[in-house]
């Protein structure tokens, strides 16, 4: 046994290993290494004996349980001498040269030598005694500066100084805590200014003041010692290092308490000394203050440009944070001049943190922030009993592993109020439990913590009342909250509201808050034991882990008790369940798992809300083992089973129930057995088909076919039952319920919810064609439907919408039948098509105008790039108009679009109106262009509908003209023709749509040829008395020559002009007008050519065709 234990001891710790070679080497290096290893191993064995890692407890007053003293002595002796056939060497081929190993050639040699050396084990005691008697003594030096700096590195969370000071104040039973910031501004007027005036000010000093118990002698000694924690079992502090976090702010802090104070002073920059002295009489009080003169420059930020949510979010590390790229508030700035990093304190974050701190403080109920003696922020906490429920409940039971006995459960309201601002109420639960652990286990805890566990343990919860949940949901939907103080209070709520969903965001509080979430919608506080930085629970040490796990399991038990109470007394199930949506906890997922295990540890039916049938309005409660959940919202609308509502079933509680087989899940077999005994209503049948269409992913076509063969439905409770066995087609026209439906057609009210692929492939139905539609409704016994306004409207809408499917023969048949039937609804009753007028602004109201929904032109955009998009948008809008009928369809049936007489009358009143211009008239006509038939358009050209005038207007020539009698103003200006009738729109743009339209209806760009010749003759006659030198070629002749090829050449061939209009020389050397055919060659031509040579275009072309001159 001795041999086995020694072997295990040495090889387990990997300092030594058994031999694997025969090589022997004893030299000076070996001896030197051996001596070094003797020293190292003595220290190592001493450490191992004091450690409980893998070897249990090694207290001075408690014997070693796993290894005997004899074993340890033998192992020590083995290290004191070099065996004859062994070597000591360094591990040259390993990654570290630190560890050394002793090798033995054989186990027999090892066994023999260990027995021989056993008797020499007392040599170590002799060495120790000799060292005490005559050795050189020196103290172990501790660099306190480096020690404190390294401790501060472990205390890196936000506002750690505030946390420690507030926690110490609460342990001292303070009810009020003041945090005073002093900025470097000599302006005394700042005392009366608002917090914004302190923005970017430098902080010179911070004071933390509380009204708790003043320091006693023990407190003064303990605060001056490192790692001597508070031995008070009720206090949260355990390690005795928290106070030293103040050195991150101040080089030499000062504590004042009662009548005394203590100053911390550095000596030689590595030794910390304290000086204690009595305070001056005028400074003595019943308060305790921590004075921190800032060691480095800190900047106070009272304003921020970032989102409030990112500033005050106390759960930034939560797994439910859906905005990973969200900006976080900067904690430092960079100096522009020195490029140094300057830390900052953000006032908004500090306010939010102080509010969070109040969640579970035992005594403190008031936190105040001051800046230069001015109160900037004050938050208070008050408690109030809940009158609506039994607040004090006898909760007599033990924890799961019988470490605690629950005595009572008290429920109260905690009201958090910001001075001169809003307040919020959260529900608070406190459970008192008695410690019932065995003494042996408690001794282990005492050894680790250096103090006992409290005999009375409190477990507290903070959760959201139903009314707050509903209020938060409404606020998120209606508007965004911009008030910072309201946002700060809302950050206390252990729920997060994002995108109409609620996520649990409860935190673990160890005294004050940590970053560890609970995985439920409740904050949790208890006497949990943290790691040294107090941000995580210690689940590594076996004894501490056992305690923490028991507390977390107890939290789960209490949460279950509260759930059972709330679910039975309230009907607002969505608000109640919000706090129980179990989610993974972060950063340690095990925390939430333990709480959930405690929740389900109670051997009792868990009640859940359900609907017994799809038509039920109210929810009822039944045990979860009798309830069902479904993964599709459609199932809830047609299946008659006790189902948890779909929206509620997404709550994490039901996933936890499902994982533990505590709730039933709907499957296909269960649906089939239920459907066969049920007659669905139409809306339920639609939901059934919705669900069935999603089953296509399972590729179980036989299952789908089987369900379709057994399902039955009806429109109403009094309608006949419909089965899918007789159907051949589905209604893809959305036929109105006013019309009788063929018996083989599935109603559109059902078919419209399914895709074409689903209807055709899964239900084997074909779409009803327009040909089949017309064949049914054009039967003689169905024609009466066209003579009634409501049914005719429905029929014409469907035929118009799908008329593109008709060929010429089918069109002619349709037109022949309907042309003799009064099938067109008008404002004067039902009319035949050619007696009906399609609605238009140019029609007189006394005409029989069609009352159908005929879409008008929806856009006037002339951008070619957007034409296709516009057409698509227009078609989409037309299709969305109820029972619309296209104008083109009505025109093809024979309906009319324009009555010329009524148009002229209507336009006359419009033109003469002072509120309209010629431009407005033209635009109205353009809007009606697409609605005009060819005959209507020709009539428009002949109608005197446009207002005209001349360059010199008068009453006689300013009147209505037919379009073909008018010219564009530019023509008259170019010809200087003051009496030429022009359209009354002087500045019309030749590139505009209006110009193009006016050309289309007959407005002239050039005068009529005969009129232009009259104008040439008129201009010539005005120059009869002028000499040859003074004579000018008529402007009209120049205009004719310039525009001849484009406008007049074709007319000239048929006009056969025999009138004299060409200026030429007479034999008497005078200028006369000649007929083109009579103009001589030679000198006469030269004069004309010279007169026209400066014109644009080719005068030869004009002369050749007009005067028939070849050369």
Contact 903, 943 (CB under 8 A): yes
Whether residue 178 sits in one domain with residue 111? no
69 plus 206 within the same structural domain: no
Distance CA 1078, CA 1094 (A): 24
Q: Could you tell me if 1063 and 1036 lie in one domain?
A: yes
Among 223-232, 393-402, 1019-1028, the least confident range:
223-232
In a domain, residue 159? The reply is yes
Supply φ then ψ for residue 688, to 5 degrees.
-60, -45
List the domain range (segments joined by +) for residue 905: 898-1005
Report the alpha-carbon distance of residue 956 to residue 674 in Å, rounded: 90
- Tokens 């009147």 locate to 959
**Domain match, 1020 and 961 both:** no
Nearest alpha carbon to residue 886 among 801, 820, 786? 801
Same domain, 892 and 902: no
Question: What per-residue confidence (pLDDT) applies to 523?
Answer: 94
The pLDDT, as a whole number, for residue 149 is: 64
Q: Which of 134, 153, 188 is the last residue of a domain?
A: 134
pLDDT at 909: 61
301 with 195, same domain: the answer is yes
Q: Last residue of some domain: 490, 515, 544?
A: 544
| Predicted confidence (pLDDT) at residue 863 exceeds the cutoff of 60 | no
Per DSSP (E only), the strands in 518-596 are 522-525
29 has a pLDDT exceeding 70? no
Residue 620 lies in a domain: no
Q: Which residues contact 1021 (CB under 8 A, 6 or more apart)?
A: none
CATH number for the domain that contains residue 206:
3.30.565
Q: Compute the average pLDDT of residues 864-886.
A: 61
pLDDT band at 53 (very low <50, low <70, confident <90, very high): very low
Mean pLDDT of the chain: 78
510/518 Cα distance (integer angstroms): 12
Question: Please, which pLDDT band fits residue 469 given cuts at 50, 70 and 90?
Answer: confident
906 and 999 co-located in one domain: yes
Is 1040 inside a domain boundary? yes
786, part of any domain: yes
pLDDT mean over 132-155: 64
53 with 66, same domain: the answer is yes
968 inside domain: yes
Q: Label the pairing between strands 982-983 and 1071-1074.
A: unpaired
Contacts of 169 (CB under 8 A, 6+ apart): 177, 208, 210, 212, 288, 364
For strands 501-504 and 456-463, give the pairing: unpaired
Note whether residue 594 is domain-resident: no
Per residue in 478-526, pLDDT tens?
556 678 898 899 889 999 887 778 889 999 998 777 889 999 999 999 9
User: Has residue 635 been placed in a domain?
Assistant: no
pLDDT, mean of residues 791-810: 92
Instruction: Give strand ranges (E) for 920-1055.
Output: 946-949, 959-961, 982-983
Domain endpoint, select from 544, 570, 605: 544
Q: How far apart are CA 884 and CA 477, in angstroms?
A: 37
| φ/ψ of residue 511, rounded to 5 | 75, -80
> For position 102, what pLDDT does the model report?
47
Q: Is 216's pLDDT higher than 50? A: yes
pLDDT tens per residue across span 546-586: 999 999 999 999 999 999 988 988 888 888 898 999 999 99
- Are 155 and 302 contained in the same domain? yes
What CA–CA distance (Å, rounded) separates 237 from 166? 11
Decide if 415 is inside a domain: yes
What does the block give as tokens for 699? 């590729």
Q: How many domains does the chain have?
A: 7
Residues 188, 257: one domain? yes
| Beta pairing partners, 255 | 262, 290
pLDDT at residue 914, rounded to an integer: 38
Query: Is the domain of 794 the same as that of 880?
Result: yes
If you search the block for the tokens 């809300």, which residue do you land on?
609
Same domain membership, residue 1072 and residue 947: no
Report pLDDT digits (tens) over 645-663: 998 999 999 999 999 999 9
pLDDT at position 62 over 50: no
Give the closest residue to 459 by CA, choosing from 528, 374, 536: 528
């Amino acid at each position: 046994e001795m041999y086995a234990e020694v072997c295990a001891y040495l090889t387990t710790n990997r300092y030594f290993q058994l031999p694997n070679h025969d090589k022997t080497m004893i030299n000076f290096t070996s001896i030197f290494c051996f001596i070094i290893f003797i020293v190292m191993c003595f220290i190592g064995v001493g450490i191992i004996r004091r450690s409980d890692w893998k070897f249990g407890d090694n207290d001075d007053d408690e014997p070693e349980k796993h290894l005997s003293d004899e074993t340890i002595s033998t192992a020590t002796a083995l290290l004191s001498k070099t065996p004859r056939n062994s070597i000591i060497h360094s591990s040259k081929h390993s990654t570290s040269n630190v560890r050394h190993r002793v090798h033995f050639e054989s186990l027999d040699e090892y066994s023999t030598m260990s027995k021989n050396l056993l008797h020499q084990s007392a040599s170590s005691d002799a060495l120790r005694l000799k060292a005490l008697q005559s050795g050189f003594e020196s103290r172990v030096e501790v660099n306190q500066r480096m020690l404190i700096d390294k401790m501060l590195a472990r205390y890196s969370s936000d506002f750690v100084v505030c946390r420690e000071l507030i926690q110490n104040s609460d342990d001292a039973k303070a009810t009020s805590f003041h945090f005073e910031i002093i900025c470097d501004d000599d302006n005394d007027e700042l005392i009366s200014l608002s917090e914004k005036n302190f923005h970017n000010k430098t902080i010179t000093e911070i004071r933390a003041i509380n009204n708790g118990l003043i320091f006693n002698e023990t407190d003064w000694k303990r605060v001056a010692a490192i790692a001597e924690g508070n031995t008070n079992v009720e206090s949260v502090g355990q390690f005795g290092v928290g106070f030293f976090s103040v050195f991150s702010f101040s080089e030499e802090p000062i504590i004042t308490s009662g009548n005394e104070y203590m100053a911390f002073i550095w000596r030689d920059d590595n030794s910390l000394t304290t000086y204690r002295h009595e305070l001056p009489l005028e400074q003595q009080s019943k308060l305790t203050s921590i004075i921190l003169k800032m060691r480095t420059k800190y900047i106070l930020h009272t304003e921020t440009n970032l989102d409030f949510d990112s500033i005050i979010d106390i759960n930034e590390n939560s797994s439910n944070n859906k905005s990973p790229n969200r900006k976080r508030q900067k904690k430092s700035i960079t100096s522009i001049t020195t490029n140094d990093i300057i830390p900052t304190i953000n006032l908004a974050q500090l306010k939010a943190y102080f509010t969070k701190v109040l969640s579970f403080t035992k005594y403190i109920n008031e936190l105040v922030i001051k800046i230069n003696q001015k109160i900037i922020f004050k938050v208070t906490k008050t408690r109030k009993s809940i009158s609506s429920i039994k607040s004090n409940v006898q909760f007599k039971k033990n924890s799961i592993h019988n470490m605690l006995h629950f005595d009572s459960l008290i429920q109260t309201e905690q009201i958090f109020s910001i001075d001169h601002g809003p307040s919020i109420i959260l529900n608070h639960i406190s459970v008192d439990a008695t410690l019932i652990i065995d003494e042996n286990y408690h001794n282990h805890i005492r050894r680790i913590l250096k103090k006992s566990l409290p005999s009375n343990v409190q477990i507290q919860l903070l959760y959201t009342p139903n009314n707050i949940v509903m209020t938060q949901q409404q606020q998120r939907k209606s508007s965004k909250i911009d008030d910072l103080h309201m946002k700060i209070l809302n950050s206390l709520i252990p729920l997060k509201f994002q995108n109409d969903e609620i996520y649990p965001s409860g935190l673990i509080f160890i005294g004050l808050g940590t970053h560890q979430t609970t995985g439920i919608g409740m904050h949790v506080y208890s006497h949990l034991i943290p790691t040294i930085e107090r941000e995580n629970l210690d689940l590594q040490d076996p004894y501490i882990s056992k305690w923490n796990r028991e507390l977390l399991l107890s939290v789960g038990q209490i949460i279950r008790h509260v759930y059972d109470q709330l679910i039975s007394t309230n009907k607002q199930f969505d608000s109640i369940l919000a706090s129980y949506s179990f989610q993974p906890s972060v950063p340690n997922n095990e925390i939430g798992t333990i709480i959930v295990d405690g929740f389900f540890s109670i051997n009792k039916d868990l009640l859940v809300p359900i609907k017994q049938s799809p038509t039920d309005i109210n929810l009822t409660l039944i045990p979860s083992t009798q309830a069902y959940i479904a993964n599709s919202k459609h199932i809830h609308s047609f299946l008659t089973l006790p189902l948890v509502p779909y929206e509620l079933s997404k709550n994490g509680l039901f996933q936890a129930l499902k994982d533990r087989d505590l709730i039933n899940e709907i499957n296909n077999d269960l649906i089939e057995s239920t459907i066969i005994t049920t007659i669905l209503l139409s809306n339920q049948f639609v939901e059934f088909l919705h669900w069935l269409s999603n089953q296509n992913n399972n590729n179980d076509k036989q299952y789908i076919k089987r369900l379709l063969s057994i399902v039955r439905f009806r429109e109403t409770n009094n309608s006949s039952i419909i089965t899918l066995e007789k159907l051949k087609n589905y209604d893809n026209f959305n036929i109105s319920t006013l019309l009788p439906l063929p018996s083989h057609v599935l109603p559109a009210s059902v078919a419209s919810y399914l895709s074409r692929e689903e209807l055709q492939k899964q239900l084997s139905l074909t779409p009803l064609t327009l040909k089949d539609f017309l064949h049914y409704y054009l039967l003689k016994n169905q024609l009466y439907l066209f003579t009634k306004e409501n049914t005719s409207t429905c029929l014409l809408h469907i035929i118009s919408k799908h008329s593109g499917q008709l060929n010429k023969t089918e069109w002619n048949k349709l037109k022949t039948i309907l042309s003799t039937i009064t099938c067109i609804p008008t404002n004067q009753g039902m009319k035949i098509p050619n007696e009906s007028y399609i609605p238009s602004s140019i029609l007189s109201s006394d005409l029989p105008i069609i009352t159908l929904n005929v879409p008008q032109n929806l856009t006037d955009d002339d951008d070619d790039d957007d034409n296709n998009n516009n057409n698509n948008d227009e078609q989409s809008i037309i299709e969305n108009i109820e029972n619309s009928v296209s104008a083109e369809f009505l025109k093809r049936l024979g309906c009319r679009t324009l009555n010329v007489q009524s148009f002229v009358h209507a336009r006359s009143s419009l033109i003469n109106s002072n509120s309209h211009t010629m431009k407005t008239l033209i635009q109205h006509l353009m809007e009606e262009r697409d609605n005009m038939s060819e005959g209507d358009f020709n009539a428009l050209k002949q109608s005197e509908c446009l207002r005209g005038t001349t360059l010199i207007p008068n009453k006689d020539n300013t009147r209505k003209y037919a379009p073909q009698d008018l010219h564009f103003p530019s023509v008259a200006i170019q010809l200087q023709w003051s009496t030429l009738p022009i359209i009354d729109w002087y500045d019309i743009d030749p590139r505009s749509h209006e110009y193009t339209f006016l050309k289309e209806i007959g407005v002239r760009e050039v005068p009529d040829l005969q009129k232009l010749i009259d104008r040439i003759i008129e201009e010539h006659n005005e120059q009869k008395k002028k000499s040859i030198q003074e004579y000018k070629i008529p402007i009209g002749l120049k205009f004719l020559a310039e525009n001849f090829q484009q406008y007049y050449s074709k007319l000239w061939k048929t006009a056969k002009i025999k009138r004299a209009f060409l200026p030429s020389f007479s034999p008497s050397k005078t200028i006369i007008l000649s007929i083109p055919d009579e103009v001589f060659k030679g000198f006469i031509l030269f004069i004309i050519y010279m007169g026209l040579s400066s014109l644009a275009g080719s005068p030869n072309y004009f002369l050749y065709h007009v005067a028939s001159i070849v050369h």
